Structure 1
Amino acid sequence: MSLDTHIPARFDSSNIVDPASVSPENFTITGPDATARGRNRGEQAAEGIARTFEAYSALFTAKGIDTAAQERGAQQSLEALRAWDESQYRELEGVAAGAGLELWQVGLVNGRTEILTLADVEPHECSTLANRDAAAGTAYSVQTWDWHVEFADVWHYHSVEGTEGRRSYAGFAEYGMLGKIGMNDAGVAVHLNILKNAADHAGGVPVHSILAGVLARAGSVQEAIDLVLSAETTSSSVITVTGADRIVMIEIGPQHKQVIEIDGWGVHTNHFIGDEMMDGALELKPVGSTSQARYALLQERVSTAEAPAGTADFLPLMSTSGDEAPVCCVIDPAKPFGERTGTLVTVQFDPAAKVARMSPGNPKDVPHVATTEFSFA
């Protein structure tokens, strides 16, 4: 099926925007319980949630996943989430009610990574760089979020107030998601990179719900690990968890998970590196993946880099141009819908200071755009 089939007019190449020019909305999410908190999110962000559902449904359709399969995949992931975290399920019910959508439509957005496994799709790629210096007592991490450039307007900042024994947290998420990349008031931060395994399939606990669960519930890196390991997953990703005194990269597959401890520099792109995760491991793209090249470039750079004094020291390491591997991902407008990739967000975490900084665009854009800072200090 052609990628140009069933594409809303706003995804035409003539409407592409520079990710660095986006001014994201910033929501404060409150509520005494899960359902009320979800309704508060849904009411505030109704337009964006509808837009994000439309975007993902159009992408899935263009990739050959019909509406019935989309709904079925969303419902399966919602049931898996309900079994793992009933509170999040109720919160998504509130989001749907507040936004005036059906629950499965909100479930489709939250389960978009799992639903993508139904297509012969080549997901897009991200890079994460972390450093833990035990002697200095520091830990930092930085990520580029590379995704479909047409989705430059489907994400927002948010601050979520903790109730019912939950943690408060902040960061960015796609509209309708309860969490994505962010940090909580305990100084536990999470990053996400997508991976691929031959056994990936739809229906597991959405990885974005796992991120939201960690942000809302983990008071330490170890508690984050326990939460991630407890979720029944069916698709592949890696979650980097950064705390003030510990960093781990948890590789997630459809059949197994592995925790990789980081001492010194840690690099992850979009291929498995854990020795226990090689069974069925695949490159994201059979031809043209840049994951190995980006990984090699970052490893080469950190091999001669001094220990960072802060997250600003990461930005030159994450900046690329010309013929270098594209850690900074630049848009190619000549490509069709579904294949146009750009770095939409640059994220910096300092868990000891309990500070998260986020900027639209790639690391080279950071000095020239508005950076939003969240602090729990």
Structure 2
Amino acid sequence: MLEIAGATPRDRGIDRGRQVAAVVREHWPVHLGLFALAGWSEQEVREHALASLDALGAWWPDGRDEILGVAEGAGVEPWIAAALGARTELLVAKGGPDAHAARECTILATVAPAAAAQVWDWHRELADAWHAQQVRGGPLAFAGITEHGIGAKVGMNEAGVGVLLAILSHTDDRPGGVPVHSVLHRVLAEAETADAAVAIAASAPVTSSSVLTIVGPTAAGGRTVVAIELSPAGSERVSPEPDRAGQQWLPRTNHFLSERLAAGSRTFRGDPDSDDRLRLLRERIDARAGLDPVRAASDLVPMLRTAPGAELGDICCVARPEQPFGRAWQTLATVAIDERGLTITEGSPLERPRPALHVPLPR
């Protein structure tokens, strides 16, 4: 757990940069290697990262200032800090998901109670390049997990708004837009309701595609869960799916569910497992309907458990020794969010029981 603080975005960036400098320097060659697999030269990475930083500055100046602070604190060039923040845009645009089969994040949420859980899957070579964090000094304090040098990923803020992330892929994806990790960062730093989080996400001129699952309070005082798909072609909210007992669910893998945005989807070429994982989630939802009501996010975590090759789709990723660089995917963390707060567990539901970090929601 890193404690990040500062009176200004630049100050918070400098604080973060100082704390993560050694890990950023150690793992930067890994990122460059992944960018090369995606088809980008180092010069192209630099150009696209700086374009993304400019786009961020136009949309959220505080986010740009914080990235520049990270560079200052870590003692790296600004384009390197910008490339870390925009690594999704660089990896999905040219070769990313279509270059080889990927095994990416899976999310399961219920609307009532407002609860959500996800497994975070990423490269084995970057298994030591992430951390839990608590961030203070901005409009809203927040906690969650992120990668070293990146302001935010999934998490929950002191207003009770939480956000989870799964990557999507669209034919219009390209580098240079507002990084999706900066969208997550701004949601956690500023959104006081689920609707406010959706509005922030929908306002971002992104150039890569993702789905955000947002858990948070409503203006009327209740709590809800909403999902919004983002792409260069626009954004769409996704309706929950009722089971036969009437409970509303939001299962998510790595392809578009919005009919309009799905017209440009290219996910299945790179991740044929996405459809299988979604079908598996729906089967588990059907099997549970009317029998065992969900009471908390912890009830959702076992529904994300799969043993390699034993189910329709592998929700839990287990890297194999023979898999080469850039093709070994591992579930690095499991995150659960509900009205009681945020729970982070290292590893996947396959590896439980494991020590868990619980950050309670302020009352």
Is this a same-fold pair by TM over 0.5?
Answer: yes
Could you tell me how far apart the structure 2 residues matched to 1:116 and 1:68 are? 15
Structure 1 match to 2:229? 251
Moved more, 195-204 or 53-62: 53-62
Moved more, 177-186 or 256-265: 256-265
Q: How does 1:38-187 map to 2 (within 5 A)?
A: 38-122=13-97, 123-133=102-112, 138-163=113-138, 166-187=139-160
Give the 3 Å change call, closer, same or farther, for CA 337–372 of structure 1 in structure 2: same
Task: Report how far residue 253 of structure 1 moved.
Answer: 1.0
Structure 2 match to 1:290? 273
Deviations 1:67-98 (A, max 9, x none): 01110110111000000000111111111100
1:234 aligns with 2:204: no
**Is contact 1:250-1:260 (8 Å) kept?**
yes
Task: Report how far residue 52 of structure 1 moved.
Answer: 3.7
TM-score normalized by the length of structure 1? 0.88
Structure 1 match to 2:193? 220
Could you tell me how far apart the structure 2 residues matched to 1:187 and 1:53 are? 34
Matched letter for residue 318 of structure 2: V
1:333 aligns with 2:306: no
1:301 aligns with 2:284: yes
Describe the SS at the equivalent of 1:193. Answer: strand
**Is contact 1:144-1:328 (8 Å) kept?**
yes
Moved more, 255-264 or 103-112: 255-264
% same residue: 36
Describe the SS at the equivalent of 2:260. Answer: coil
1:204 aligns with 2:191: no
Could you tell me how far apart the structure 2 residues matched to 1:124 and 1:75 are? 29
TM-score normalized by the length of structure 2? 0.91
Task: Report how far residue 118 of structure 1 moved.
Answer: 4.0
**Is contact 2:103-2:317 (8 Å) kept?**
no
Matched letter for residue 107 of structure 2: T
Task: Report how far residue 185 of structure 1 moved.
Answer: 0.3
Question: Please, which runs of 5 or more residues in structure 2 have no aligned partner?
Answer: 218-222, 241-246
Task: Report how far residue 289 of structure 1 moved.
Answer: 1.8
Describe the SS at the equivalent of 1:45. Answer: helix
1:323 aligns with 2:310: yes
Matched letter for residue 130 of structure 1: A
**Is contact 2:94-2:174 (8 Å) kept?**
no
Could you tell me how far apart the structure 2 residues matched to 1:243 and 1:341 are? 30
Task: Report how far residue 285 of structure 1 moved.
Answer: 3.3
Could you tell me how far apart the structure 1 residues matched to 2:62 and 2:211 are? 24
Question: Please, which runs of 5 or more residues in structure 1 have no aligned partner?
Answer: 1-25
Could you tell me how far apart the structure 2 residues matched to 1:41 and 1:312 are? 30
Describe the SS at the equivalent of 1:277. Answer: helix
Task: Report how far residue 64 of structure 1 moved.
Answer: 2.7
1:277 aligns with 2:261: yes
Matched letter for residue 355 of structure 2: A
Could you tell me how far apart the structure 2 residues matched to 1:120 and 1:284 are? 14
Could you tell me how far apart the structure 1 residues matched to 2:29 and 2:142 are? 27
**Is contact 1:65-1:118 (8 Å) kept?**
no
Describe the SS at the equivalent of 1:285. Answer: helix
Could you tell me how far apart the structure 2 residues matched to 1:170 and 1:51 are? 25
Describe the SS at the equivalent of 1:192. Answer: strand
Could you tell me how far apart the structure 2 residues matched to 1:376 and 1:30 are? 19
Give the 4+ runs in structure 1 shifted more than 3 A: none
Moved more, 154-163 or 116-125: 116-125
Q: How many residues are treated as equivalent by the alignment?
A: 342
Structure 2 match to 1:349? 337
Could you tell me how far apart the structure 2 residues matched to 1:249 and 1:51 are? 35
**Is contact 1:162-1:169 (8 Å) kept?**
no
Matched letter for residue 287 of structure 2: T
Describe the SS at the equivalent of 2:295. Answer: coil
Deviations 1:42-85 (A, max 9, x none): 11111122234332112112333110111011011100000000
Structure 1 match to 2:299? 313
**Is contact 1:162-1:216 (8 Å) kept?**
no
Could you tell me how far apart the structure 2 residues matched to 1:120 and 1:312 are? 36
Could you tell me how far apart the structure 1 residues matched to 2:169 and 2:37 are? 20
Matched letter for residue 21 of structure 2: A
**Is contact 2:93-2:174 (8 Å) kept?**
yes
Could you tell me how far apart the structure 2 residues matched to 1:261 and 1:214 are? 20
The two structures, once aligned, show a CA RMSD in angstroms of 1.4
Task: Report how far residue 284 of structure 1 moved.
Answer: 4.8
